[in-house]
Amino acid sequence: MWQIVHKLGSPKWFYRVSGPWLPWLWSLSVVLLVIGTVWGLAFAPADYQQGDSFRIIYVHVPAAILAQSCFALLAICAVIFLVWRIKLADMAATVAAPFGAAMTFVALFTGSVWGIPTWGTWWVWDARLTSMLILLFLYLGIIALRGAFTSRDSGSRAASILALVGVINLPIIKYSVNWWNTLHQPATFSLTRQPAMPAEMWLPLLVMVLGFYMFFAATVTFRTRNEILRRESRTRWVRELAEKTH
């Protein structure tokens, strides 16, 4: 059992195995994103209240879901890195943090653009907007803390501790902010109940969410591979690889 875990945690093994996945991940994400975008923007029916402006949901909701999933990934990587010292987990966390921050920003930006036709203002101090903003600050804190250390290992451990502290605090922040003020509509997707919109509206959204996840997987895998090459640039297998490609 432990042998398998250590094999899975070996950067060299991951580099070798993930290579063939990449084209599949990229093409799957492009196909899903194209289908979802065209379906959502051109074929899905317009909303009876909001008209065409609701179509921004096809970017807004997937980005918001990804922003939160990415933080969960950070926390899982942090546990794996702190407990078992598996470097691969930290490499994934290093590259996933900027991605999560970007998704949070996209969710905030699209939400604010959407706010103009629906609420008549760019920004309201609503609970879910505010907790997304706080999520963005948490991401920025983790990225900044990692960068502040001169030793990479210290930076990795500090960022991992902060990610864990953040993930424990995130639900508390979310609930306290909810208590404080709520204007936003409730979550679009839930596992336990029927979506409030018709199927021809939420199916393209589902495709978009899956597309975003595939894009996430592809980006993180691709950038983790780069990070592996960067950190292991002194090992023999990376040198041999570099000589082979030259």
Partner 1 sequence: MSADRLPEASSFNTSAAPLRYAFLATIRRDLTLKLRRRSELANPLVFFALIITLFPLGITPRQEVLRELAPGLLWVSALLAVLLSLDGLFRDDFEDGTLEQLLLSPQPSSLLVLAKITAHWLTTGLPLAFMAPLLGLMLALPATSFPALCATLALGSASLSLIGAIGAALTVGLKRGGVLLSLLILPLYIPVLIFGAGAVKLAIDGAVVMPYLALLGALLAAGLALAPWAATAALRLSVNG
The residues of the shown chain that bind partner 1, judged by CB under 8 A, are 82, 134, 137-138, 140-141, 144-145, 148-149, 151, 153-154, 157-158, 161-162, 164-166, 168-169, 172-173, 176-177, 179-180
CB of 189 to partner 1, least distance (A): 26
CB of 132 to partner 1, least distance (A): 12
Closer residue to partner 1, CB minimum distance, 49 or 150: 150
Closer residue to partner 1, CB minimum distance, 138 or 208: 138
Closer residue to partner 1, CB minimum distance, 110 or 131: 131
CB of 94 to partner 1, least distance (A): 17
CB of 151 to partner 1, least distance (A): 5
Closer residue to partner 1, CB minimum distance, 72 or 148: 148
CB of 9 to partner 1, least distance (A): 21
Helix H, strand E, coil C: the string for 144-171 is HHHHHCCCHHHHHHHHHHHHHHHHHHHH
CB of 74 to partner 1, least distance (A): 15
User: Cα(29)–Cα(215) distance, rounded to whole angstroms?
Assistant: 5
CB of 108 to partner 1, least distance (A): 14
Closer residue to partner 1, CB minimum distance, 144 or 187: 144
Closer residue to partner 1, CB minimum distance, 140 or 206: 140
Sign of the C-alpha dihedral computed for residues 128, 132, 137 and 139 taken in this order? positive
Closer residue to partner 1, CB minimum distance, 57 or 170: 170
